[in-house]
Amino acid sequence: MTQDLELIRRVYANYPERTAQARKTLGRGLTLTEKILYSHLSSNNFGGQGTPAAAFGRGKDYVDFFPDRVAMQDATAQMALLQFMSAGIPKVAVPSTVHCDHLIQAERGASEDLATANRENAEVYEFLASVSNKFGIGFWKPGSGIIHQVVLENYAFPGGMMIGTDSHTPNAGGLGMVAIGVGGADAVDVMAGMAWELKMPKLIGVKLTGALKGWTSAKDVILKLAGILTVKGGTGAVVEYFGPGCASLSCTGKGTICNMGAEIGATTSVFPYDSRMADYLRKTDRADIATLADAVAEHLKADVEVEKDPAKYYDQVIEIDLNTLEPHINGPFTPDRAFPISEFAKAVKENGWPETLKVALIGSCTNSSYEDIDRVASIARAAAAKGLKAKSELVITPGSEAVRATIERDGQLAVLESIGAKVLANACGPCIGQWKRHDVKDGEKNSIVTSFNRNFTARNDGNPATHAFVASPETVVALALGGSLSFDFLNGTLTNDKGEQVKLETPKGLDLPVKGFVPDPNGYLAPAADGTKVSVAINPKSDRLQALAAFAPPKVDADFKGLALLIKAKGKCTTDHISAAGKWLKFRGHLDNISNNLLITAENAFNGKLNVVKNTLSGSASGVPDTARAYKAAGKGWLVVGEENYGEGSSREHAAMEPRYLGGRAIIVKSFARIHETNLKKQGMLPLTFANPADYDKIQETDTFDLDAHNLAPGKPLTLTVKHADGSSDAIALNHTFNAQQIGWFKAGSALNLIAAQSAKK
């Protein structure tokens, strides 16, 4: 059933005028991304004639937008809603939803795991449900599905704009929506009715030609692109797909590609509206949106001249021929180490990766659609008929209750179970570290292959020795049947139960169920019409939830003198390294408790160890959080130094709130991932970059630092005075991307402090 239809009518009604105005201002045709962004501009960005005030500079100008809706998952929603509560606002200003998908640990199977989650997380679920009820937020209960699949089925619409407190929010780009992952403080801005700020993104155009065939799937498009662009190649950019190959991809296939665009650092990814999207809308009981979209279809794709001369409109153009695209496998330990299947077995041997495949996992928000499961089931059905079963443990995670119930009705689940698959709850589970493995010991070297999106060290199971590879669902089930990373499923054979050599059948399947989806009648709770009488209580003795206290405004002179170095991080430092997930997810609503995971898996550049740094007050070695707390207790500020793409990965703002809470002043690195840099600014931290990246090497373990934070101004570098133990010093130039509004956040102590102050005046 269509949600918020009148909102969608208003969005579409504005498109003809808004796109015409933007064309006039830019003096040329428009890409799809430009149409959506310029159609969602805040009035702050309009001139006197109701037209955009300027052609905003890509990668340069900060622009204010009014997104259509907000989506939050349960792990990040806790902190987002704790912040919203403290802002003093009675009700959300835009349609918003909470989805309970992150806190369900995978161990025994769907029903047992869901029951355990409901018992162990009862306090958190009750909090989220009551806050949602009070402030006008839709609530999706545990077991209803993974946020991005549920959003695609119920809320995403072509040409819309959404923000979500999860880095894979761009999944909705598969339905033609600009959907961007953010931190909770950004969500608070939008839920409070304020404009949301974003630096106008650059545009990467990806032209798709041909059509997928054989074993190749939509997942292979983004796996190949990750190999081309690397984990930071899309930073600050929207990836817009165009070309005749787009029409050959299903709506959920497009969603898979957009979802994993987060792994190349892209702000978001988007596909043009087409008949495959219309088909999906109709099958998910939203034919009225398809009718509305058809009426404005010319505005939901790039102008004709863009495709004729893409280099004129995009900052970078990449072409992928779907006719020749091979299945890919990416990893281990990073999602951009890409191998076409023809080269993978050789890479396994050359690198000494464990060939035996311990576990194969299908699902996550990236690949858990009806099409994914139907194609996998076709492989399984043919394999079972030939006397084959999975040689590796095979795990299936449906994306939503609607998908699960439909594949149960249509028989795919039974087929998968016949080759040995185990079905987990409709939740994130192993993808985000919510996986209690029993088949290997911690530290035991092993290989797994997943259809997930990320494979950072220890991400899935907490074991740094697990070699995790990312592939399509089709590739995952083929390797599970072979039991080995080196199995050539395109050409090789397997021995069946009769001792015969048999080949796997090429996958095929439907992208949408013929009989439609089985609806989920119990997963959603609508909020109260009047939430003023709804109470939200937080037990002060709780170890799961903690009311927030405002961060104090900085003393821009005293607070930035004599700073200590907390840690100089070496190499990849993702939000998983800064604020680990797994067992720590239970503390996402308790800032003090979760701060005990600060940077515990980041490698110390001085000793190569994890969670062992020098406390310069005591002269002894201790854990990172313990050292930070010691500095805070002594009134001594500190900073962190890191390398490239610092904060890559999840949108979790805990990675920004924890250093702020424990007394951090600045994070100084070679470069930042977009979401993390913004999150740091929102919480009153100073994210700074070395003007000369080689200055990273000048930082020593016992240095002290003075930072001229009082000179913070747009476009003006800061100077870090580094005082070494031998009495020498260095003056290091630091760059930043603060604008005037963001400097206001810093001076107030946080962006939330400003919102609360403005709310108090009303």
Which of 166, 189, 220, 461 is an active site residue? 166
Q: Which of 650, 651, 671, 750 is catalytic?
A: 650
**Which tokens go with 601?**
């898996």
150 membership: H or E segment, kind and range: helix 147-154
516-534 exposure pattern, b = at least 16 Cβ within 10 A, e = fewer: ebbebeebbbebeeebeee
Is 652 noted as a catalytic residue in this protein? Answer: yes
Bridge pairing between strands 421-423 and 316-321: unpaired
Distance from chain centroid for Cα 324: 29
- Catalytic residue, chosen from 74, 101, 113, 703, is 101
Determine the 3-state secondary structure of 210 from DSSP.
Answer: coil
Catalytic residue among 18, 40, 99, 102: 102
Annotation marks residue 102 as catalytic: yes
The residues near 716 (Cβ < 8 Å, ≥ 6 apart) are none
Catalytic residue among 375, 404, 652, 736: 652
What is the C-alpha radius of gyration for the chain, rounded to an integer number of angstroms? 25
Q: Is 276 a catalytic residue?
A: no
**C-alpha–C-alpha distance, residues 757 and 762, integer Å:** 9
166 is catalytic: yes
Write the single-letter amino acid at 56. F
Rounding to the nearest 10 degrees, give the CA dihedral for residues 212, 217, 218, 220.
-110
Strand residues in 583-695 grouped as ranges (E): 613-614, 621-622, 638-641, 664-669, 686-690
Please spell the DSSP secondary structure of 408-468, one letter per residue. Answer: HHTTHHHHHHHTTEEE--SS-GGGGT-B---SS-TT--EEEEESSS--BTTTTTS-TTEEE
Planar angle of CA 351, 356, 361, nearest 5 degrees: 105
3-state SS, one letter per residue, for 590-605: CHHHHHHHECCCCEEC
Please report which residue ranges of 230-314 form alpha helices under DSSP H: 251-259, 275-283, 287-295, 304-308
User: Burial, 571: exposed, middle or buried (Cβ in 10 Å; 0-12, 13-18, 19+)?
Assistant: exposed
Q: How far apart are the first and last CA of the chain?
A: 37
Q: How far apart are CA 380 and CA 421, in angstroms?
A: 10
- Name the active-site residue from 69, 299, 454, 629: 454
The catalytic residues are 101-102, 166, 454, 650, 652
